[in-house]
Structure 1
Amino acid sequence: MLDWSPALYRRYEDERTRPAQELLARVPLAGASRVVDLGCGPGNSTELLVRRFPGAEATGTDNSEPMLASARERLPQARFELSDIATWQPAQAPDLIYANASLQWVPDHETLIPRLFASLAPGGVLAVQMPDNREEPTHRLMREVAAEAPWAQAIGDADKLRTRLLPLSGYYDLLAGEAARVDVWRTAYQHPMVSAGAIVEWVRGTGLKPFVDRLQADLQAGYLAEYERRVDRAYPPRSDGKRLLAFPRMFIVAQRKP
């Protein structure tokens, strides 16, 4: 996959940061010595951690150098490291492992989630937020168009381009046996968007990226045009002319026993 674009991601930073704030608000820690932001992106979520725990050693990790460069410029007081969440291990046990909209790109959650939880310090917290929109029109249409000619051959099996999430009960079961407490919930945000093109721009910075990255420029333009045409039908104008983008997200907060 080609590298991530911090500028494209930040066009909807307020909307992307809102669930990050709501996740952090449910973290039951009065203080922390070490906090880690897994998949920190351009540092908007790491900034929340620095504000909440000003005395903590804050580390952000990402697999994108452009995202890390943007994060370092934003938060020079924090440490940012290039790493792959699938193999990441902390040098010292953190009090908080925070993963906002990143673990949906990492496979094998049945192994990943318990491993991350086990790496916490006693009393530490694992806090996870993931988009749960695989079956929303935005994401069903990505796969639908990708399965058609002339894009199917270049894109391949579109069903494998994103990790299938477990149900909320599945994440609860992975953690509840070892945790002092587990809090899971799901929220569907409703984002007014000015046009179908704005919806495409939103998802192009994240979920649509693995699809368009596999296409040459001519095929990419055709794919995006057809995708936007179908998005336009799926999200009709509301009474004010805007399109209402439903965006479900899954939240998991689990605390280790002291």
Structure 2
Amino acid sequence: MKWDPKKYVQFADHRDRPFFDLTARITAATPRAVVDLGCGPGPLTRSLAERWPDAHVSGLDLSADMIEKARKDQQAPNLNFEIIDATTWVPEPETDVLVSNAMLQWIPEHRELIAKWLEALAPGAWFAAQVPGNFGSPSHALMRQLAESTRWAPLLTGVLRHDDAVGEPADYLRIMLDAGFEADVWETTYGQILSGIDPVLEWVRGTALRPILAKLDQADAAEFEREYAELVAQAYPSFPDKQGGELTLFPFRRIFMVGRKR
């Protein structure tokens, strides 16, 4: 599945806020090595390098396009980016902070991976991750229903695995406690205000819609998007703003986990 760095950062303000809400809970003073696993185009990784200038900060991602963009645009003396497959990666012993922001939902076995990473981290190390918890919301439920319809099922059966993409907060809390971590797990629903034409479609184009677009040719992708846009426009009706434009309320639930190994 190919990622588009420009599309991913289209809603940077909304996508960045959970990262900073997450990392604000990390109180590591002088970490040796900091890893951002699933770093994307890298501006948030650079913020970690600026926060901890004496640490070696690594941004890791499977997407060559994302890493190329990060290496080009995000520079700091203590910062580097590498192409890494998270399913085979293990943190080095000196990793004092491991962050993963909105990446784990793409990996079916991420619960087992989290347990493996936590076991590998040294006492005193921090783990912080955030995943979207909105797979039951209309934006995703309608996408699944459309993909499973008579028209699209022959092309898209099995492409979306949203039903089990993430666990509930209690699932992650148990994993962290079992690994010997002092853990803080919580959820937040952000009342995101989007603007423009078909804003929910524009949002999912950067993330949730990627597997479908990767499976369809250009004509079919355009047809699927038209049908989907009609469905979500009813689920998320717009309302006028005072400047004569249209706004759309798009609630977005996020699940957070932060902990320090005893």
Instruction: Summarize deviations over 1:90-135 as a string: whole Å, max 9, x none.
Output: 3443001100000111122331111111222220011000011100
Matches within 5 A, 1:183-202: 183-195=184-196, 197-202=198-203
Structure 1 runs of 4+ aligned residues shifted over 6 Å read none
**Which AA in structure 1 matches 2:137?**
E
Which segments of 5 or more consecutive residues in structure 2 lack a partner in the other structure? none
Instruction: Summarize deviations over 1:30-71 as a string: whole Å, max 9, x none.
Output: 221100000000002202211221110000110111100111
Q: What residue in structure 2 maps to residue 256 of structure 1?
A: 261
RMSD between aligned alpha carbons? 1.6
Q: Does 1:217 align with 2:222?
A: no
Aligned-partner SS, 1:89: coil
Contact 2:63 2:83 in 1 (8 A): yes
Quote the Cα distance in structure 1 between the aligned partners of 2:117 and 2:164.
17
Q: Does 1:82 align with 2:83?
A: yes
1:79 to partner: Cα distance: 1.2
Q: What residue in structure 2 maps to residue 246 of structure 1?
A: 251
Label 1:119 to 1:163 Cα distance change in 2 as closer, same or farther (>3 A).
farther
**Which AA in structure 2 matches 1:246?**
P
Of 79-88 and 222-231, deviating more is 79-88
1:166 to partner: Cα distance: 1.5
Aligned-partner SS, 2:254: strand
Which segments of 5 or more consecutive residues in structure 1 lack a partner in the other structure? none
Question: TM-score, normalising length from structure 2?
Answer: 0.93
Contact 1:93 1:119 in 2 (8 A): no
Instruction: Summarize deviations over 1:207-234 as a string: whole Å, max 9, x none.
Output: 1111121111111111000000001000
1:28 to partner: Cα distance: 2.4
**Which AA in structure 1 matches 2:255?**
M
Matches within 5 A, 1:1-258: 1=1, 3-77=2-76, 78-160=79-161, 163-195=164-196, 197-238=198-239, 240=241, 241-257=246-262
Of 218-227 and 115-124, deviating more is 115-124
Quote the Cα distance in structure 2 between the aligned partners of 1:100 and 1:63.
14
**Which AA in structure 2 matches 1:243?**
T
Of 64-73 and 232-241, deviating more is 232-241
Quote the Cα distance in structure 1 between the aligned partners of 2:227 and 2:184.
40
Aligned-partner SS, 1:81: strand
Contact 2:31 2:52 in 1 (8 A): yes
Quote the Cα distance in structure 2 between the aligned partners of 1:105 and 1:120.
22
1:155 to partner: Cα distance: 1.2
1:196 to partner: Cα distance: 5.4
**Which AA in structure 2 matches 1:125?**
W
Label 1:154 to 1:138 Cα distance change in 2 as closer, same or farther (>3 A).
same
Quote the Cα distance in structure 1 between the aligned partners of 2:149 and 2:92.
46
Label 1:178 to 1:55 Cα distance change in 2 as closer, same or farther (>3 A).
same
**Which AA in structure 1 matches 2:8?**
Y
Question: TM-score, normalising length from structure 1?
Answer: 0.94
**Which AA in structure 2 matches 1:11?**
Q
1:162 to partner: Cα distance: 7.4
Q: How many residues align?
A: 256
**Which AA in structure 1 matches 2:258?**
V
1:75 to partner: Cα distance: 2.2
1:239 to partner: Cα distance: 5.3
Quote the Cα distance in structure 2 between the aligned partners of 1:162 and 1:177.
25
